[in-house]
Amino acid sequence: MKNNLKEFFSEEGIEKIANVLFDYTPKLISAILILIVGWWIVKFVNKLVKRFFLQSDYDETLERFVGDLINWGLKIVLIITVVMQLGVASSSLVAMLGAAGLAIGLALQGSLSNFAGGVLILLFKPFKIGDLIEAQGQMGTVKEISIFTTKLNTSGNQLVVIPNGKLSNDTILNYSAEATRKDVLTFGVSYDSDIKKAKEILLKVANEHALTLKDPAPEVYVANLGDSSVDLSLRFWANTEDFWQVHFFVLEEAKIRLENNGVSIPYPHVRVMKG
């Protein structure tokens, strides 16, 4: 140990260290300069891309996806350039990247699947930012579509993050895809009630709301003869953005009107048998 230290601090050892530092310092300084300047260029290009999309009428989903892709692509190129400037041979770097790529690919199969899912969502556009969708057991408004995940805002203002791989390989219900929506509400009335009168009341309630579409006109049918009630199916259309407003109005007002007009709405009764 002492001999090694003496050799290290000898004139010959110090001279070797000085030579190494003398040879390596310019590369290190230039690599640091490339990193600083390159990082600034990446930020500048990202700003240009954002400015370009702001001035153009492209889909917001495409804008974010392309922006993320350019950002990560430029950063990877910058890192490779810095490593090569430090003196790593290009052939060695290619071999290292190949081995690292294989290892990372095996370790991040899920992430690669999510990336591929993001590309599929971008290409086929099953939904866009602002759409109300239901997928993977979750329902919410699409807030963000990134390279690997899609973020939803639920009606309770919770954030749901869904991997794009699962999202692109499963059923997606898009409530905002069409301009209009059909609502189907079922009301059970007792067998003793006047069915025709009940149907007239339901149609009147649906037609009264200003946002109910008149073409196609609201309809009501006897949908089922149940054990304790006659089930009436009320069907009407509304513009997608007005759907819930009309839905809740008709649901509440129909119950009030039916009861006020003597139409009984039965409810399940539990019969207790005494032994």
Tens of pLDDT, residue by residue over 187-229, are: 999 999 999 999 999 999 999 999 999 999 999 999 999 888 9
pLDDT confidence bin for 235, thresholds 50/70/90: very high
The confidence score (pLDDT) of residue 98 equals: 60
Say whether both 42 and 97 belong to one domain: yes
- Computed from CA positions of residues 56, 59, 60, 65, in that sequence, does the dihedral angle turn out positive or negative? negative
Say whether both 164 and 94 belong to one domain: no
- What confidence tens digit (pLDDT) does each residue in 34-47 have? 888 888 888 888 88
Assess if residue 268 is contained within a domain.
Answer: no
The confidence score (pLDDT) of residue 2 equals: 47
Could you tell me which residue, 60 or 266, shows the higher pLDDT? 266
The total number of structural domains that make up the chain = 3
Kindly report the number of other CB atoms within 10 A of residue 197's CB atom.
Answer: 14
Assess if residue 265 is contained within a domain.
Answer: no
State the CATH number of the domain containing residue 6: 1.10.287.1260
157 pLDDT higher than 80: yes
- What confidence tens digit (pLDDT) does each residue in 105-145 have? 544 455 677 878 888 888 888 998 899 999 999 999 999 88
Alpha carbon distance 142, 255 (integer Å): 34
Least confident of 100-109, 130-139, 173-182: 100-109
Q: The domain containing residue 74 runs over which residues?
A: 2-107
Could you tell me which residue, 42 or 57, shows the higher pLDDT? 42
CA distances to 126, 134, 190, 228, 257 from 266, in Å: 42, 32, 6, 7, 15
Assess if residue 269 is contained within a domain.
Answer: no
Could you tell me which residue, 67 or 94, shows the higher pLDDT? 67
Phi, psi of 236 (to 5 degrees): -150, 165
